[in-house]
A = this chain, B = another copy of it.
Amino acid sequence: MPEATTQMPRADARRNRDALVAAAAILFAQQGEATTFEDVARAAGVGKGTLYRHFPTRDHLVAALVQIRFDELTRRADELNDSDDPGSAVDAWLREFDQYPVRSRGLRSTVGIGLADRGSAIATACLPMKRRFGQLLERAQSAGALRTDIDVTELLTVVASLPETFRDPEGRSPFLDVVLRGLRA
């Protein structure tokens, strides 16, 4: 009979982690960056220490929150890699990326800062997405559709830094168009 692997977390640990992420998602959506660690722990019904055990820093918690959407965006980049118009594919993908944090006020700038911070929890969470979208971007650049003096990290950081004010009812930034036009070769 094999021993339980060390990879397998205890059932209560798993439950607590899920409750914390769920609570954080709701609170961040409501209050944005004003959300305190204490709020999250209380809403999840666990002690503060438990929150710290699962997420040693605020960035770790935010990373867990955005992970799901980033995974979706990674898959989306893969789909678009089949496109025969990589320039438009980059546009389309960035429009989706621009919209991802609409429901979590303030997270946008946190992600914008974390993206470029090598080794940070957020940067780690973004790695697969950066790799896949990076391929798409390079294809568009090789095809001569986009300027070549901008790399993936810079581009994602700028789009993630677009202000949350001035959004239309669908959450789109009027400025994304300016950036996309400016990117064209």
Contacts and interface: CB of A to CB of B under 8 A. Distances in A.
A137 to B, nearest CB: 14
A147 B184 CA distance: 16
Chain A, interface size: which category? 20 to 34
A176 to B, nearest CB: 10
Interface string A120-157: 00000000000000000000000000010110001001
Interface in A142-185: 147, 149-150, 154, 157-158, 161-163, 165-166, 174-175, 177-184
Contacts of A147: 178
Interface stretch (A39-47, A65-73, A78-86, A109-117): A109-117
B178 A150 contact: yes
B174 A154 contact: yes
Contact of A179 (B112, B174, B178): B178
Given A116-B163, A157-B165, A166-B116, A178 B174 contact: no
B154 A158 contact: no
Given A179-B179, A181-B181, A182-B179, A166 B174 contact: no
A119 to B, nearest CB: 14
A162 B161 contact: yes
Contacts of A109: 109
A116 to B, nearest CB: 5
Interface string A92-120: 00000000000000000100110011000
Interface of A: 109, 112-113, 116-117, 147, 149-150, 154, 157-158, 161-163, 165-166, 174-175, 177-184
